[in-house]
Structure 1
Amino acid sequence: MLDRVTVASPYAVELSRMPVTTRVLPVAGSETHVWEYGECGSDAETRASAGTLVVVVHGYRGDHHGLEPVIAQLNHPGYRVVAPDLPGFGVSTPMRAVHDLDGYVEWLHEFVERVRAESPSARLVIVGHSFGSIVVAAALAGSPAGSGTPARPGLAVDDAVLINPIAAPALKGPRGVMTRVAIGYYRLGAAAPEKLGHVILSSPVMVRVISITMATTKNKALRRWIHDQHHRYFSAFANRTVVLDAFRASVSNDVSEYAGRITARTLLIAADKDDITPIAAQHRLRDSMSDARLVVLDDVGHLIHYERPIEAARAIDAFLEPSASAS
């Protein structure tokens, strides 16, 4: 029987110490719900005083909760950390555009422009996890002019951080077979009538299977909390169309497609047991970027943000140190 009792977060103490404010911003047709962490995000005056603005983009079928353990561990004086629910996920409503990669990139450009205007002198750092790493990479890279389409400039940031970046096509990863199984599952959800399709795609049993597959920790209490997080938030999507469009985007694109056009100083935080991207692909990704550093965490998989947030936050803090920026 699946757990239904709230499982306390192992990072609750650190989170409780951080001021958190929430609001809703209309962006690209989406009523985008936003959580802001730290002393510099409580009102217009403190937003304007922020020294560093960190915009966080979560992964597929997640919401802002996913990266809270990393946010809680950051050495955040002077930080304004902004974590939205992506359109169509969590409590954010869908956007006007199709929920494919282009749609999310356009949304991200507009969202960053909105929050950046409130902290005009702040250093801008953008963080993406998993599918969020693809969205961030595509936004940073921009796109050349095509037949009938104008060029899109890359998102201008000071620094970028990609956690569990999707560095190669998912179908070629260590568990390409599992990816194909997932594609079959989503196709079944798409082929069924609307209500039944939604039931299939939000099935608690399937969510537990996915959670068990991704978790690598042997710590029973931590595994139980991870499963609880997935059951609470993994099926918080607006409708079947949103979740299917975003899934197609997540398995049809990867960061390596955009790496050569990314000029921002970038930190890659990868895992040696990531079932989606082999570690060799992470090294190739680093080498293909103009200014990238790679930190590899041992004994963890695709859930760095849940299983190793302390190490991830330390890597980010070290990367954002003024001395590191100057080197």
Structure 2
Amino acid sequence: MAVQNPYADRLGRIPVERHEVEVLGGRTAYWVYGPADAATTILAVHGFRGDHHGLEPVVAFLDGIRVISPDLPGFGETAPLPGRTHTLQTYADWLREFAAAAAPEAIVLGHSFGSIVSAAAVAGGLPTERLILVNPIGAPALEGPRGILTRLAVLYYWAGAKLPRVLGEAVLRSRLIVRIMSVSMAKTRDRRLRAFIHGQHDDYFSGFADRDVLRDAFVASVSHDVRRYAPAIDQPTLLIAADRDDITPIAAQRHLRELFPQAELVEIAGVGHLIHYETPQQAASAVTRFLAPSDAGTR
């Protein structure tokens, strides 16, 4: 039985095109949403294990804004970068090169792991007028409210990398494990919305190229956080955080705001690490207001 996408009607009214561009010796697949003559363009960077589909609910509410959304190397329809270990530095280098090739001068938006990649790239010289981080990783994942689950995830990815390849790949793509991850992150009590979230994870959470790139990206995601890069980011920054996030508690997000020279924090109540699925309209409203010409965008 197909799961209904609650945002399908709005998405269906937005023009979208698929493109590819060569970046760091590999081909990056990306999607362009919205009007070609839009005054504002956002470069949207998705999170760990996902692909560009994850941010589509937010895109659905960004009226009149052009969004360029690539699949990160090794995920979705973008192959791993040849001859490279997929460290955070590799992803940051890739994002800078991709932006130069396909989204020059775009506003950068990153979700979850994408928040770390985006922050590292901007701190490293990626030009952008403003930075937007949704569910930013604002503290070490192992110290979050569910640090024990993160430690179990470390064991899971370690085992997937050490088992014989066929068995390891099967473990890492296990629908049961994906469902456990999905259930642990979803906070909504709306049964239809929960079904949609689980369906999205079923469809896209196992779209990684192979276990090697998955392991590399996981290590990068739990070994870094946005705090290291915040002081070096001079651009006005918007943090969109959730008060029930199991990866970065809201107190850590409030502290993260203070590390940026210019930052604003929007807190969304009753949601966890899936703002992009559960409250995309609220996130998009915060983004639209932040980008409005009359908005100062700083605390």
Q: Structure 1 length as normaliser, TM-score?
A: 0.89
Aligned match of 2:31: 35
| Runs of 4+ with >3 A deviation | none
Give the paired residue count. Answer: 297
SS in 1 for 2:67: strand
Instruction: After superposition, give the CA deviation of every residue in 1:175-201 in whole Å (9 maximum; x if it has no partner).
Output: 101100100111110110111111010
Between the aligned partners of 1:106 and 1:24, the Cα distance in structure 2 is 18
Distance (Å, rounded) in 1 between the aligned partners of 2:187 and 2:98? 34
Segments of 5+ residues of structure 2 without an aligned counterpart are none
For 2:26 and 2:221, how far apart are their aligned partners in 1? 20
Shift in Å, 1:8: 1.7
Q: Is the 8 A contact 2:290 2:297 kept in 1?
A: no
| 1:296 maps to 2:277 | no
1:214-266, CA deviations, whole angstroms, 9 ceiling, x for partnerless residues?
A: 00000000000100000000000101100000000000000011111111110
Quick one: which amino acid aligns to residue 27 of structure 1?
V
In the other structure, the counterpart of 1:112 is: 99
Cα shift at 1:124: 2.4
Q: Is the 8 A contact 1:29 1:94 kept in 2?
A: no
Q: Does 1:125 align with 2:125?
A: no
Is 1:212 paired with 2:199? Answer: no
1:65 to 47, 53, 66: 53
Kindly report the root-mean-square deviation, in angstroms, between the aligned alpha carbons of the 2 structures. Answer: 1.1
Name the structure 2 match of 1:149: none
Q: Which runs of 5+ in 1 are unaligned?
A: 41-48, 118-122, 143-153
Point out the structure with max Rg over C-alpha: 1
Equivalent positions of 1:1-327 (< 5 A) are: 5-40=1-36, 49-76=37-64, 79-96=65-82, 97-117=84-104, 124-142=106-124, 154-325=125-296
Cα deviation 1:96-136 (Å, max 9, x = unaligned): 3211101101100100001235xxxxx62000000000000
Shift of 1:27: 1.0
- State how far apart, in whole Å, the 1-side matches of 2:66 and 2:160 are: 39
Say if 2:238 and 2:297, in contact at 8 Å, map to a contact too: no
Q: The residue matched to 1:39 in structure 2 has which SS?
A: coil
